Chain A
Amino acid sequence: MHREILKHKIAYFVLIIGLIGSIAGFMGVWPNPWLQRAVIGLLVIFYFCWGVFVHRQSGTLTRKIIEEYLVVALFAGGMLLIITF
């Protein structure tokens, strides 16, 4: 675990900042559900782009990885989206 984090410490730092920012944004815009959905959309896009960028930098980007990040991001975003209705 440490090796993986140290190897991509900047990437994980950006990821954690993005996730914390999403939490703050989601809580901060409440009770406006539309802004919350916008925050969810940004989170999905951010996570997908983060994954693609990190794998591209390390030269391990494949179509399956792109699909994996897309599915995980949409799944996570979908769960959050449902509770805003």
Chain B
Amino acid sequence: MDFARSLIEALDSLASNKLRSGLTILGIVIGVGAVIAMLSIGAGAQNTITGSISDIGTNLLFVMRGGNEEVRNPKPLTLSDADALRDPFAAPSIIDVAPVLQGSVEITALGESDFVAVYGVIPEHAAVRNINLAEGTFIDETHYLGRAAVVVIGPDVAETLFNRREGVLGETVRLEGQPFRVIGVTVTKGGQGPSNEDNQIYVPLTTAQSRLIRRSTRDRVDIILVQAIDADAVSAAEQEIAAILRQRHKTVIGEDDFTVFTQESFLDIANQITNVFTIFLGGVAGISLLVGGIGIMNIMLVSVTERTREIGLRKAVGARKRDILLQFLTESALLSLLGGLIGIVLGWALSELVGFIAAQSNADINPVVGLDAVLLATIFSAAVGLFFGWYPAKRASDLEPVEALRYE
């Protein structure tokens, strides 16, 4: 029997009981739909994350203390380390260096209070980190040298304290009870959670050292930001930083007591995390497809029993085992393929819905239904239909025509 005719007969058979066919493929529809939705939301989230990692700037490197489990007593990073990195001869790939002290403080004003991340920075920090101000100015040389009690706040902080995102220049706030004058407000970037850049404040590093953040030595800093000349110079810069610090900290290669992060390493970490999620989703998908497939096998067994006489008749007029096998396999494959396709559409609709909701609540996630996800879902749906339809189809093909014709 030619394939086109088998296809038409299979479609006919499925259409003859639409309710039953619909219920049967429900498992596959939901499973595939959920997976497509999750994968596309995940892809959107990954894009957002890589986007904000990219925003950091391709030229930026982060140097932090420790990071190597084998090294017991990592030496802290210091301002002198930062100075050493500025040496144009030892580090020609580096264009700017910005050490940072970080902590968290309680900021209060007009009876409102909030806990925010505070960064003690040098004036170059704004350039290195691409910080733009909505109003006012950033910390300058005078502030830095004079340990001025000035602060640049994020728009979310302004909103919490003053109920407005601008027009707060000159206001006084208290950090850990100490008065500071607001000299600038950063531009809104949008963000969520702990890494929300709109909920951070900046003070001069010297001020932080003396008033807000206690460290064991005066000279200590938490992170050193380094800006390379351009994106291509990043790995050279990485080597130069490592060489300088090894020499200063007197450590050998393989036993560094510091770690240099580049944008690439952040991307790697992000990708690793999303890979874990993808594998997890794969497991969920596998389970739901399994359940859907069992449903198909169940219904096909019923269908074979119901059509015993029909199978007997077909064999009587010349159908061979493989003709019957093909007929029922086509039906089950078609069932699950249909379920997969509907599931893909459902998943797409779901991800659009989530994207819409996210946009409404200012979360920047743009779900993307990837072609590879669609292809994978389609192929797997068909495979499930073939695999779980095999046993019923085999039973149908093994029926003895004489007995099948006698079946009531």
Q: Do A and B come from one complex?
A: no
> Using a CB–CB distance below 8 Å, which chain B residues touch chain A?
none
> Using a CB–CB distance below 8 Å, which chain A residues touch chain B?
none
